[in-house]
Amino acid sequence: MAKTKLYPAHAQPRRRKALKPEDIDKVGQAILTLAKELWVVKDRQAVTEAVLAKRGIDISEEIALHQPDAALEAKLAAERQSLVRKILQDLTGDYDPLS
């Protein structure tokens, strides 16, 4: 039997589940979590660059070209996972118990 290739024109679109009204608060909280995290990063980056520029150090190009070492990459991966966990908790409403 010949295998038929599926092309976008022949594929059936996947149906998305619509958000339920009770999910809107969770999505809103997740968006706020992302906005807060993004603002902290933008704020710290701007302050760092301003402090260094005040001292005559322009780091813009070096930041763009920097390749993190294994230790920094591990730290970034852990922080990325933490952020994803926070967002998923906001979306699901399933929060980890406080330690």
For every residue of 30-68, DSSP letters joined together read HHHHHHHHHHHHHHHHHHHHHHHHHTT---HHHHHH---
Domain boundary assignment for the chain: 23-92
Type and span of the H or E element at 86: helix 70-92
Q: Please give the DSSP secondary-structure letter assigned to residue 99.
A: -
Cβ contacts of 69 within 8 Å, gap of 6 or more: none
Q: Looking at the predicted structure, is the pLDDT value of residue 99 above 50?
A: no
pLDDT tens digit string along 41-74? 999 999 999 999 999 999 988 888 999 999 999 9
Torsion angle of C-alpha atoms 24, 27, 29, 30, degrees rounded to 10: 180
Is 0.75 topped by the overall pTM?
Answer: no
